[in-house]
Amino acid sequence: MIFQETELKGAYIVDIERREDDRGFFARSWCRREFEAHGLNPHIAQCGVSFNVRKGTLRGMHFQVKPFEEAKLVRCTMGSLRDVIVDLRPDSPTFKRHRSVVLTANNRTMLYVPEGFAHGFLTLEDETEVHYQISEFHAPEHARGFRWNDPAFGIAWPADVKIISERDRNYPDFSG
């Protein structure tokens, strides 16, 4: 696996390392030892799938607060999306900065989202599916979010938002 740390400390773009032959290729998409070697949380409590019927579907911005903060490994398994993370760690030099990455079924790139970050995405194609490996169990009483277009972060989404849940649309601006 190929790990590239982003400018947001602890957040990584992770690519597979293909071993190709005449059949196609094989690659690991997860290795506890490699995640540990990079100082990343290797614990997986849950895996989830998000299927999104239409292009322009926005999910986010979501996070869980202590003691149930989550690390996530996010991969697009069908279609494509713009994935966005925001550093919400008040003591971080990149507090309130964001990073976006295009994840597609074809590029097989993954995004490691550390604890203390918000996460969201906008689908770029119809029938986009996202796979998550999550370090912590979902704890609804510790789930939080902020508005996807909160001016505090200046996230430039690449297309119009056409579908968004009532909850995500009505999140307040960030107050941290």
- CB of 79 within 8 A of CB of 104? yes
SS3 27: coil
Residues 6+ apart with CB under 8 A from 23: none
Residue among 38, 131, 132, 171 flagged as catalytic? 132
132 is known as an active-site residue: yes
Q: Which two tokens stand for residue 155?
A: 């996230």
Residue among 38, 62, 131, 142 flagged as catalytic? 62
62 is known as an active-site residue: yes
Strand 98-104 and strand 19-21: pairing? unpaired
CA–CA separation, 79 vs 126, rounded Å? 7
Q: Which residues are catalytic?
A: 62, 132
